Amino acid sequence: MAEGLGLIDTHVHLEMREFDPDRGAVVRRAKGSGIGIITVGIDLDSSARAVELAEEFGLYAAVGVHPHEAKRYTPDLEKALARLEELARAERVVALGEIGLDYYRNYSPREDQLRVFHAQLELAAGLDKPVIVHDRQADEDILAGLGRAGVRGVVHSFSSGLEVAQGLLGLGLYLGFSGPVTFPKARQQYVLKHVPLERLLLETDAPFLTPLPHRGKRNEPSYLRYIARAVAKLTGLALEKVAEQTTRNAAALFALPS
Ligand SMILES: [Zn+2]
Ligand 1 center from residue 150 Cα (angstroms): 22
What spacing in Å lies between the alpha carbon of 147 and ligand 1's midpoint?
22
When pLDDT is cut at 50, 70 and 90, the band that residue 73 belongs to is very high
pLDDT of residue 4: 59
Between the CA of 157 and the centroid of ligand 1 the distance, in Å, is 8
Share of the chain above pLDDT 90, in %: 97
As a whole number, mean pLDDT of residues 102-121 equals 97
Q: How far is the CA of 185 from the centre of ligand 1 (A)?
A: 22
Cα–Cα dist 8/247, whole Å: 6
Cα of 49 from ligand 1 centre, angstroms: 15
Backbone torsions φ then ψ of 185, nearest 5 degrees: 70, 10
Q: For the chain, first and last CA: distance in Å?
A: 23
Highest mean predicted confidence (pLDDT) among 1-15, 111-125, 244-258:
111-125
Q: Give domain 7-253's CATH architecture.
A: Alpha-Beta Barrel (3.20)
Work out the average pLDDT over 216-223.
96
Alpha-helix residue ranges (DSSP H) falling in 128-161: 139-149
Give residue 204 CA to ligand 1 midpoint distance, Å.
9
- For residue 2, pLDDT over 80 is answered with no
Between the CA of 178 and the centroid of ligand 1 the distance, in Å, is: 10
* Distance of CA 160 from the midpoint of ligand 1 (Å): 15
Runs of H (alpha helix) within the chain:
23-32, 44-57, 77-88, 110-127, 139-149, 162-170, 187-192, 224-235, 239-253
What does the alpha-carbon distance between residue 187 and residue 67 come to, in Å, rounded to a whole number? 23
Q: What's the average model confidence in pLDDT over 49-53?
A: 98
Question: In this predicted structure, what is the pLDDT of residue 243?
Answer: 97
When the pLDDT of each residue in the chain is averaged and rounded to a whole number, the result is 96
Q: What's the CA-to-centroid distance between 75 and ligand 1, angstroms?
A: 24
* Ligand 1 centroid, distance to 18 Cα (angstroms): 14
Query: Ligand 1: distance of its center to the CA of 13 in Å?
Result: 7
Amino acid 1: pLDDT: 41
94 neighbors 62 (Cβ within 8 angstroms): yes
Q: Could you report the per-residue pLDDT of 153-212, keeping only the tens digit for each? A: 999 999 999 999 999 999 999 999 999 999 998 999 999 999 999 999 999 999 999 999
What is the whole-number distance in angstroms between the Cα of residue 132 and the centre of ligand 1?
A: 9
CA of 91 to the centre of ligand 1 (A): 21
Provide the 8-state DSSP code for 90: S
The answer to whether 181 and 230 have CB atoms below 8 angstroms apart is yes
Distance, CA 220 to ligand 1 centroid (Å)? 13
User: How close is the Cα of 14 to the center of ligand 1, in Å?
Assistant: 10
CA 135 to ligand 1 center in whole angstroms: 10
Say how many Å lie between the CA of residue 202 and the centre of ligand 1.
Answer: 13
Q: Could you tell me the pLDDT band of residue 258, with boundaries at 50, 70 and 90?
A: low
Q: What is the mean pLDDT of residues 142-147?
A: 98
Break the chain into its structural domains and give their ranges.
Answer: 7-253
d(CA 188, CA 185): 8
